[in-house]
Amino acid sequence: MASLFLSESDQIPANITNEIDPGRPAKDSKTFPRGSGDLELVSTDNVHFNIHKFLLQHTCGFFADMFSLPTPQNEELQDAQVSKKSSEVIEINLPSKVLHEFLCHIEPNEPQPKVDPATVGALIDAALFYRAPSIISWFIDGIQLDCVNRVTQKLHPSLLATNPLLTLALCHKVGSENGVKSAIKELTTCDSIFWDEDVELSGRLLLYCVKLRQERTALYLDLADNMADFEFSNTGNVKERTRVTCMSCSVTLARWIKSLATAASQWPKWDNIQGIVCPASCRSCELEWPEYKSKTFNKWVNINRPDRKEQSSLLIPEWLSQEPFKSINRSANVK
């Protein structure tokens, strides 16, 4: 099975490779101030972090290798663009915010930070490159908790709910199969605004998500077509059966069908479709719209069962299930 971590010859991802800015004034980290460790790390924006060397050595495979080598200027250090000024100061190619979160996961006395959509991508890339399995485990455990909460409908902010595309990309990157399934399921039924994220994702995986969403949208558009074909006289409460409906009800029906079609395209989820407000009953022809909605919906639902389809387990295509979802060594003993 393929390794979770990048090889030594791989370049660190572009989104976390920033050149050190010597023009910025030096600042000391408030969380990792001077004197709090025997090793000083300097971020790209010239913020200085102090931490004990043995913590990095025993939690990050990259630093374990670096500290065990006789000469610091080796090929791996050059690839990572990490320069060792002395035996106690190392420049790290990460911005201070990402480096702060990275070290909070390393330092056992610091609380683990919450997932920040703005930095979690760079944090996971750094964890993969510097070989910090504890950070990867923290991310996967958090996503699994989000998955459980979404299933049990516990409403609370989560990366899965607010950034499903980012969740999919990161879960696919770290090898969380359950996370990938949950993210795909979320993308199939979420509001279309959550598809606007600028995320680097496999084209094949993205097209698969688009295909599933189009199928879900088509299912609810069929409900709109079904409403247009449903006879008003089937409700049994029209004042004059020879006159199907009045002009006002025809306009109301057209607007209602348009609302259903718009909802199906923007947010193809059964709770959203079912929650569309029903028009008031017509005084002219005494058409009871709630009864009309009940009969049209019930007839369609009994055949299509959209609620059950949304709750059913997602079928992962063979090409995705056979991809090397990588195992994680949750032990911090990397050397």
Rounded-to-integer distance, Cα 291 and Cα 235, Å: 7
Question: Which of 79, 108, 90 has its CA nearest to residue 41?
Answer: 90
Report the pLDDT value the prediction gives residue 239, as an integer from 0 to 100. Answer: 45
Q: What is the mean pLDDT of residues 128-143?
A: 94
Angstrom distance (rounded) from CA 231 to CA 91: 73
What is d(CA 293, CA 281) in angstroms, rounded to the nearest whole number? 11
Tell me which of 285 and 274 has the higher pLDDT.
274
160 contacts 150 by C-beta, under 8 angstroms: yes
Nearest to 192 by CA among 170, 219, 214: 214
Res 68: pLDDT: 83
How many H helices and E strands in the chain?
A: 15, 5
**Cα R_g (the chain), whole angstroms:** 28
Q: What is the pLDDT of residue 231?
A: 60
Q: Across residues 151-172, what is the average pLDDT?
A: 83
Cα–Cα distance measured from residue 35 to residue 102, given in angstroms and rounded to the nearest whole number:
19
Other Cβ atoms closer than 10 A to 276: 13
Per-residue pLDDT at 333 exceeds 80: no
- Residues 20 and 91: beta-carbon distance below 8 Å: yes
Mean pLDDT calculated for residue range 261-269:
90
CA distances from 20 to 95, 137, 207 (A): 9, 29, 38
- The 3-state DSSP class for residue 84 equals strand
Residue ranges, comma separated, of all CATH 3.30.710 domains in the chain are 12-107
Average pLDDT taken over every residue of the chain? 78
Rounded mean pLDDT of 251-267?
Answer: 87
First-to-last C-alpha distance (Å) of the chain:
20
pLDDT band at 244 (very low <50, low <70, confident <90, very high): low
Residue 118 half-sphere exposure, CB side, CA atoms within 13 Å?
5
Residue 310 makes CB contacts below 8 A (sequence gap 6+) with 189, 269, 270
Residue 325 has pLDDT above 90, yes or no: no
| pLDDT score of 225 more than 50 | yes
Q: Which of 112, 132, 123, 108 minimizes the C-alpha distance to 60?
A: 132
The single residue listed with the structure tokens 């028009």 is: 279
Name the H helices within 230-317. Answer: 247-266, 270-274, 289-304, 306-311
Closest Cα to residue 11, out of 75, 96, 106? 75
Count Cβ atoms below 10 Å from residue 200 Cβ, excluding itself.
11
Q: Indicate whether 165 pLDDT > 50.
A: yes
CA distance 199 to 288: 48
Contact 49, 41 (CB under 8 A): yes
Domain covering 12-107: architecture: 2-Layer Sandwich (3.30)
DSSP letters, 3-52, are -SSPPTTSPPPGGG-----TTSPPEE-SSS-TTS-SEEEE-TT-EEEEE-
What are 2-33's pLDDT values in tens digits? Answer: 333 334 334 344 333 345 555 667 889 999 99
Q: Please tell me which residue, 100 or 248, carries the higher pLDDT value.
A: 100
d(CA 44, CA 83): 12
| Low-confidence winner among 67-71, 268-272, 276-280 (lowest mean pLDDT) | 67-71
pTM score over 0.85: no
Q: C-alpha dihedral over 229, 232, 234, 237, to 10 degrees?
A: 170
